[in-house]
Structure 1
Amino acid sequence: MTNTPKPKAKCALVMAGGTGGHIFPGLAVAHALRDKGWHVHWLGGTSAPGQPSMESQLVPAQGFTLESVDFGGVRGKGLTTLVLLPLRLLKAFWQSIQVLRRVQPDVVLGLGGYITFPGGLMAVLLGKPLILHEQNSVAGLANKVLSGVADRVFCAFPKALKKAQWVGNPLRAAFL
């Protein structure tokens, strides 16, 4: 009998945040991967100062490690937020690189929300496979921008993104 070492479990970094429309499909994918033996980490953003983000409440409660990057929504946040956007992006890029180096994912999955942009772009720059999923009939800004550099792009609605494969929305097992 030979003692062959067990293969190292694959690791995925799921990126989704901001709203339940991104987070709940992300949790469905995260659970499916974990059920298949994958290690799953989550890259989430921040909310308004002093307020926890939705993902910071939901993701750890489901047993996943949450890695937070100081980046959140931009639209409708006022002129100051827009003026500070380049600095906030640089900080988010740096924090995303740190998470990617620490976690060492085999694949990075972006399911939308602002946090998908810095994490997804840094994943591509570090040579990590990037897979996107768009849940809405009209693609969000982060997924629109990243779809041109992603390895695979999936969508819930036909023609939501140009090079996307139509697969529907991920559902939690409780709904199946």
Structure 2
Amino acid sequence: MIMAGGTGGHVYPGLAVAEDLRAKGWNVSWIGTSRGLEASVVPANNFTLHTLKTLGLRGKGLMSKIKGLITLVLASAQAFILLARKRPNMVIGFGGYAAGPAGAVAKVLGIPLLIHEQNAVAGTTNRLLAKHARRVMAGFDGAFLRDINVSVTGNPLRAAFSGLPDKCYPDTHFEHSRCLRVAILGGSQG
């Protein structure tokens, strides 16, 4: 079961892993929210999306933090019911609000928890869950500041990008010895 949500920085690496697992015969479903990018991307790629009602806790006023704590407790209860019923072989967290309560509940239920951090500095959810994960992976060395055993794996890439041509395009109007190379960089907000 994949746990990721909010932005493309969490969702698309999770989708790459989900597609790869499905191609290998695994039944993959997803935990996210109804408000993040996952609400449209996950069902569009034919994965079941289980939504938790949760909010962020950082950088808000007192009333928002109280509301966030209440929704965190409720989301944890939702995650407990879902994970106790589904009993996945493992959960893989890629970050986002829903990954926090679901990852904590997975640990309580004895479901193996794996974490993947895509950014150069680990986000709050992954940083908190990493201490309890069976395995922690990161796209970049040094993403986690604490003494956590991290495997630097790079970031998952969807299969749609693996078949890009190796040779130059003929209509680039560059010298034949030079190829047009494009680097596309994005972050949590694209």
TM over 0.5: yes
1:164 to 133, 136, 150: 150
1:38-57 matches, cutoff 5 A: 38-47=26-35, 53-57=36-40
Percent identity for Structure 1 against Structure 2: 47
Q: Which amino acid aligns with 1:128?
A: I
Gaps of 5+ in 2: 163-190
Q: Does 1:101 align with 2:89?
A: no
Q: CA RMSD in A?
A: 1.2
How many residues align structurally? 159
TM-score by length of 2: 0.80
Cα offsets for 1:60-89 (capped at 9, x unmatched): 000000000001333344432202232111
Q: Secondary structure at the match of 2:79?
A: helix
TM-score, L = length of structure 1: 0.86
Pick from 50, 57, 66 the counterpart of residue 67 of structure 1. 50
CA distance in 1, matches of 2:41, 2:155: 19
User: Which structure 1 segments of 5+ residues have no match?
Assistant: 1-12, 48-52
Shift of 1:35: 0.1
Partner Cα distance (2:58, 2:33) in 1? 15
Which is higher, the Rg of structure 1 or of structure 2? 2
2:137 equivalent to 1:135: no
- Is 1:114 the counterpart of 2:97? The answer is yes
Per-residue displacement from partner, 1:32-58 (whole Å, max 9, x unpaired)? 0000000001000243xxxxx311111
Residue 177 of structure 2 is matched in structure 1 by none
Moved over 4 A (4+): none
> SS of the residue aligned with 2:80?
helix
